[in-house]
Amino acid sequence: MNDNSIRRLVIVGGGTAGWMTATALRRLLYPELTIEVIESEEIGIIGVGEATIPPFRRHNALLGIDEREFVRATQATFKLGIEFRDWARPGDSYIHGFGTLGLDLDGQPFHQYWTRALQIGAAKDLGLYSFNVQAARQGRFMPTPSDAPKNTPLEDIVYAYHFDASLYARYLRRFAEAHGVRRVEGRVVEVRRHPESGFVETLVLQDGRSVSGDLFIDCSGFRGLLIEQCLHAGYEDWSHWLPCDRAWAVPCENVAPPVPYTRATARPAGWQWRIPLQHRVGNGHVFSSRHMSEDEAAAMLLANLEGRPLAEPKLIPFHGGKRRRAWIGNVVAIGLSGGFLEPLESTAIHLIQTSIAKLALLFPERDCSEALRNRYNSQMDGEFERVRDFLILHYHATERADTPFWNYCRTMEIPESLREYIALFRDSARIMPKSDELFTTVSWAQVLIGQHIASRRYPPVIDRLTDAELRQFIEHVEQVIGSCVAVVPAHEAFIARHCKAPPP
């Protein structure tokens, strides 16, 4: 600490982004820092964002949160991957499973052996070689057991959660307040800035109170209260690549035990999510308003619910893209205020986590040096762009020609960065993500193959195995995975035994 150290951190917004930021920075930064969260019950939170991906578990681990207590408190279930139905062709189904795929051999990824095995008629559906996909299809779940047999997928079971977003925000709020974060209830109506530096100094609330700070985190959701309304950061709109711009969301009753995966079913002008929780199922229809009216989209969602709706559907408009600069002066935008990529691969909460981690590493002094801001902004640009490309792949790599929406997606221009990935894979089954990329070779392989992108060749080194050796290898992998999955209990039974939530 020195005279220039930041002492007062003010977070505007008490949604998932606000409370995740408050809890993580409380844990990661120095104790002299005061952290205040301003939120408005009158405005409320967005109330969606209920499916996560495995890195989310690091947030809980950082805070020392007990997993079972968290699952009970948020009516959570476990998630092994995402099922994509009807994406490349009507009637299709594949699961993008977390964790490993088959077994890498001599440094070469499994899907390359699988590509060759397919050519000689020795390979089955790719999902049979993924522990997570098999367990998900059979409705089974357990975390890594302490007595897991060596060199099997049971040694490291990779999973995430589905949870109730409102309960999660409440849970984190309790946690944050217990660790010294101060909550201020009220609506910010005025932002006062230093006349020369332009730095934000004070936020004025509707009732006349004011909150001053050295650094402000804008977690105010889509409205971007500080970053856009006050600082006019500008927005990079990617809706020409990700044409969906609306979602209807509605919870419904559970009619069956919760499955351990999210489902994304393609619809004529978008797709529908299904997120199973302990007390209900979260549903939503993400669609392009250029290709389907809001009324038609709402009717389609309600017609495709498995149980009785538990609320009126809520319409959420959005634009796929990101803020041109997420950090300006002494304001950093985290969460929906910083940008939004639609929830197809459940990445928004992960981007919140990434923003927090980068901010903690680049945490400034009061002058918020330009070098730090530039580094943060360029790193976050890269994070958003890489997730964007992975999402576009799902839309573009389709054979569907049955609606104007799918025709548009199939024939649209795509970013050069994605074109290169696809070309490399088509040419030789190779996938070379950047070292810090969220989606690894395993993820890309499952989606590329799931979307029916075929490789002409595979790397020559894969021919080191004879046909007989290759057959034996592939069969062995399938058999090990099958026997590992067989010992895993039903997802519902695991929850009932270890972390059943009380009735809401």
Ligand X SMILES: Cc1cc2nc3c(=O)[nH]c(=O)nc-3n(C[C@H](O)[C@H](O)[C@H](O)COP(=O)(O)OP(=O)(O)OC[C@H]3O[C@@H](n4cnc5c(N)ncnc54)[C@H](O)[C@@H]3O)c2cc1C
- Closer residue to ligand X, CB minimum distance, 25 or 165: 165
Q: x/- site string to ligand X, residues 71 to 110, per CB under 6 A? A: ----------------------------------------
- Closer residue to ligand X, CB minimum distance, 163 or 421: 163
Class of residue 242 by CB neighbours under 10 A (exposed 0-12, middle 13-18, buried 19+): buried
Mapped to the 3 state alphabet, what secondary structure does 424-462 carry?
Answer: HHHHHCCCCCCCCCCCCHHHHHHHHHHCCCCCCCCCHHH
Q: Near ligand X by CB under 6 A, which window of 171-179, 342-350, 390-398, 496-504?
A: 342-350
Contact flag: residue 356 with ligand X (CB under 6 A) = no
Counting every residue written for the chain, the total comes to 504
Contact flag: residue 183 with ligand X (CB under 6 A) = no
Q: Near ligand X by CB under 6 A, which window of 32-40, 101-109, 420-428, 478-486?
A: 32-40
Contact flag: residue 10 with ligand X (CB under 6 A) = no
Q: Near ligand X by CB under 6 A, which window of 16-24, 208-216, 253-261, 435-443?
A: 16-24
Rounded Cα distance between 279 and 479, Å, is 36
Q: Near ligand X by CB under 6 A, which window of 108-116, 145-153, 348-356, 430-438?
A: 348-356
Applying CB under 6 A, which of residues 28, 29, 43, 414 lies at the interface with ligand X?
Answer: 43
Applying CB under 6 A, which of residues 16, 74, 441, 451 lies at the interface with ligand X?
Answer: 16
Applying CB under 6 A, which of residues 281, 348, 368, 501 lies at the interface with ligand X?
Answer: 348
One-letter amino acid at 6 equals I
One-character DSSP codes across 124-163: --GGGG-HHHHHHHTTB-----TTPPTTSGGGS---EEE-
Q: Near ligand X by CB under 6 A, which window of 69-77, 88-96, 149-157, 345-353?
A: 345-353
CB of 502: closest distance to ligand X in angstroms? 24
Count interface residues toward ligand X (CB under 6 A): 40
Task: Give which of 204, 192, 202, 161 is closest to 71, Cα–Cα.
Answer: 161
- Closer residue to ligand X, CB minimum distance, 318 or 395: 318
C-alpha pair distances (Å), 423 with each of 117, 139, 417, 420, 432:
21, 35, 10, 5, 12
- Closer residue to ligand X, CB minimum distance, 105 or 204: 204
Contact flag: residue 44 with ligand X (CB under 6 A) = yes
Helix, strand, coil % in the chain, rounded to nearest 5: 40, 20, 40
Per-residue exposure over 151-175, b if at least 16 CB sit within 10 Å of its own CB, e if not? eebbeebbbbbbbbbbbbbbbbbeb
CB of 121: closest distance to ligand X in angstroms? 39
235 with 228: CB under 8 angstroms?
A: yes
* Alpha carbon 30 to its chain's center: 29
Contact flag: residue 115 with ligand X (CB under 6 A) = no
- Closer residue to ligand X, CB minimum distance, 126 or 225: 225
Cα angle for residues 110, 478, 458 (degrees, 5° grid): 25
CB of 12: closest distance to ligand X in angstroms? 6
Contact flag: residue 392 with ligand X (CB under 6 A) = no
Rounded Cα distance between 283 and 32, Å, is 43
Q: x/- site string to ligand X, residues 461 to 480, per CB under 6 A? A: --------------------
Applying CB under 6 A, which of residues 50, 164, 214, 389 lies at the interface with ligand X?
Answer: 50
Q: Near ligand X by CB under 6 A, which window of 8-16, 71-79, 83-91, 299-307?
A: 8-16
Task: Give which of 387, 372, 270, 367 is closest to 318, Cα–Cα.
Answer: 270
C-alpha pair distances (Å), 433 with each of 100, 241, 324, 425:
15, 20, 24, 11
Contact flag: residue 211 with ligand X (CB under 6 A) = no
Contact flag: residue 45 with ligand X (CB under 6 A) = yes
Strand order through the sheet with 188-193: 188-193, 200-205, 210-212
Contact flag: residue 200 with ligand X (CB under 6 A) = no
236 φ/ψ angles, rounded to the nearest 5 degrees: -95, 110
Rounded Cα distance between 120 and 105, Å, is 19
Q: x/- site string to ligand X, residues 309 to 328, per CB under 6 A? A: -------x-x----------
Return the DSSP state at 257: P
The answer to whether 124 is a known catalytic residue is: no
Contact flag: residue 452 with ligand X (CB under 6 A) = no
Per-residue exposure over 261-285, b if at least 16 CB sit within 10 Å of its own CB, e if not? bbbbbbbbbbbbbbbbbbbbbbbbb
Cα angle for residues 312, 271, 415 (degrees, 5° grid): 135
One-letter amino acid at 91 equals G
Q: Near ligand X by CB under 6 A, which window of 11-19, 230-238, 455-463, 466-474?
A: 11-19
Question: How crowded is the C-beta side of 91, counted as CA atoms within 13 Å?
Answer: 1
Contact flag: residue 204 with ligand X (CB under 6 A) = no
Q: What's the token pair of residue 475?
A: 């069969």
Applying CB under 6 A, which of residues 6, 9, 35, 48 lies at the interface with ligand X?
Answer: 48
Contact flag: residue 191 with ligand X (CB under 6 A) = no
Q: x/- site string to ligand X, residues 249 to 288, per CB under 6 A? A: x----------------------------------x----
Contact flag: residue 51 with ligand X (CB under 6 A) = yes
The residue ranges of DSSP E strands in 334-440, in sequence order, are 339-340
CB of 164: closest distance to ligand X in angstroms? 12
Tell me the catalytic residues.
79
In the complex, the residues that contact ligand X under the rule CB under 6 A are 12-18, 38-40, 43-46, 48-52, 165, 187-188, 219-221, 223, 225, 247, 249, 284, 316, 318, 335-337, 343, 346, 348-349, 352
